[in-house]
Amino acid sequence: MKICIFSSSSNAIASVYMDEAIKLSRIIGHQKHTLINGGANVGLMETVLKEAKNAGANTIGVIPEKLNGHKLASEHADDLIVSKDMMERKAIMREMSDAFVALPGGFGTLEEILEVITLKQLDYHSKAVVFLNSNGFYNDLFKQFERSFEENFAKTSYRDLYYIANSSEEVMEYLNSYTPPQPVNKWYKVPEK
């Protein structure tokens, strides 16, 4: 399985996040999956590439030209793909991957995981999408999701578009047993022509 990991590029985060990222990366490697990520040599991105590769995973990094030009490419990617920009980077990662996991991260991580959820909602793919909620990092985001459901901005059935895991083992158990759901009509009421 090709597993895309979205994660932080920060080197200043607490060890609780680093420790769980290392655990997940090693499980991916031991199970001989392929790890795909943003290909950078900073933060959790570098950690997951290094740890997964050392544990036996094939690793693929996808980095845009601009970041590659700043010498931010990881040496731990078995295959490094240089995209022309961020849009192409995300498209390549989405197309190559069988599943997506968001580790704790900032704006970029949120943008990436929410985009794959939105595309799944619109039936562009039916791949697994998982939040690894280390240390309750995403709890406030999930409260916002619930408000969207409660106030009819999103259908409650959209809870099935993603899975919330509290450990690396739970992530892998979900991915290894994942069955794509039936698509749900996004709209509450489609206008008549």
Question: In this model, does residue 191 exceed pLDDT 80?
Answer: no
Q: Sign of dihedral through CA atoms 167, 168, 169, 170?
A: positive
The per-residue pLDDT for 187 is 64
Chain mean pLDDT for the chain: 94
**Angstrom distance (rounded) from CA 150 to CA 158:** 12
Q: Structure pTM?
A: 0.93
> What's at 110, amino acid-wise?
L
Torsion of CA 17, 156, 107, 12, to 10 degrees: -10
| 3-class secondary structure per residue, 112-174 | HHHHHHHHHHCCCCCCEEEEECHHHCCHHHHHHHHHHHHCCCCCHHHHHHCEEECCHHHHHHH
Q: Where are the domains of the chain?
A: 2-175
CATH fold, domain 2-175, is: Rossmann fold (3.40.50)
- How would you class 151 by CB atoms within 10 Å of its CB: exposed for 0-12, middle for 13-18, buried for 19 or more? exposed
pLDDT tens column, 145-189: 999 999 999 999 999 999 999 999 999 999 999 999 877 666 666
